[in-house]
Structure formats: structure tokens, C-alpha cells
Amino acid sequence: MQESDYGQVVIRVRPSDAPSVAVELAEMRDECEQLFNDLVAALPLARGVERHSLKLMQIGALNWSQT
């Protein structure tokens, strides 16, 4: 069977699914979220744009990108 990147994209592993690496997965998630916080905070947005909502929309779009 040939290896494929497809499986890596569609498989989701939550910390509770892998107790032996739960701490590491949670740390990786927190680092990723902080990166998004920093990037959105640095954007020169128009008045009235809610940074928190923008960040959540971007994360949601990324979560659905495999679809």
C-alpha cells in the first residue's frame, strides 16, 4: 500500500485519545493558539473588526480545509 498525506490530514487526535502524549498535544495546541493570537494582534484591521471573531473564523476555516 502506498503512503499518502491524505490520512495525515483527515485524522484528528485529541489529547484524551492518546493519554501517553496528552500533555505534549495540549502544549502543541496552546502554542498554535498563541501563534494565531499574536498574528491576529499584529494585523492592521479596520475599526470595528473583532480580532477574536476573526481568529476563530480563521481557525474554523483551517479545520475545514481538508473538506
Q: Cα 25 from chain centroid?
A: 12
Q: How confident is the model over 45-54, as pLDDT tens digits?
A: 999 999 999 9
Nearest-CA neighbor of 40 among 49, 31, 29? 49
Asked if residue 42 belongs to a domain, the reply is yes
Number of compact structural domains in the chain: 1
Other CB atoms within 10 Å distance of the CB of residue 67? 6
- By the 8 A CB rule, do 12 and 65 touch? no
Asked if residue 1 belongs to a domain, the reply is no
In the chain, the percentage of residues whose pLDDT exceeds 70 is 81
What would the grid cell of residue 53 be?
Answer: 471573531
The predicted structure's pLDDT at residue 48: 94
Asked if residue 54 belongs to a domain, the reply is yes
The whole domain housing 43 covers 6-64
